[in-house]
Amino acid sequence: MNALGKLLLLELKDCNKEVLNDLDFLKRALLMAATESGATVLGESFHQFEPQGVSGVVVIAESHLFIHTWPEYGYAAADIFTCGNSVHPEKAAEILIEKLGPDSHSIIEVPRGIMDTQMGGLE
């Protein structure tokens, strides 16, 4: 399949609730997931919500990683969007799952930019 990008949607359930409200921990986890998967980090932005919850993005040269947490439900949604062949989003997913320790999780893979013609993206 000729796709310009790949999006992994992680559903992380029954995580450690304290971790889900720890902005610094989540920032370190997302940055580690980005660098360990081979991505080039361009910037990041994290926000702590009251009474609880964190949203954070790491912008990478190859697209982005995002996390939104709901500590009250033990739930986090993480999106890993990559393009090109130099980044391994599955590695980033593996790291986030290990760091957040959900009792159950699922990963949906969505190819993005499926082109009819030959091009230089993922194949």
> Would you name the residues annotated as active-site residues?
63, 68, 83
37/55 Cα distance (integer angstroms): 21
4 is an interface residue for a copy of itself by CB under 8 A: yes
d(CA 60, CA 65): 8
Binding status of residue 25 toward a copy of itself by CB under 8 A: no
Q: Decide: is 8 part of the binding site for a copy of itself (CB under 8 A).
A: no
Provide φ and ψ at 36, rounded to 5°.
-65, -25
Q: Any idea what the Cα angle at residue 47 is, between residues 14 and 73, rounded to 5°? A: 20
Q: Which residues bind a copy of itself (CB under 8 A)?
A: 4-5, 7, 9, 11, 42-43, 45, 47, 49, 55, 57, 59, 61, 63-64, 66, 68, 70, 73, 75, 77, 79, 81, 83, 108, 110, 112-115, 119
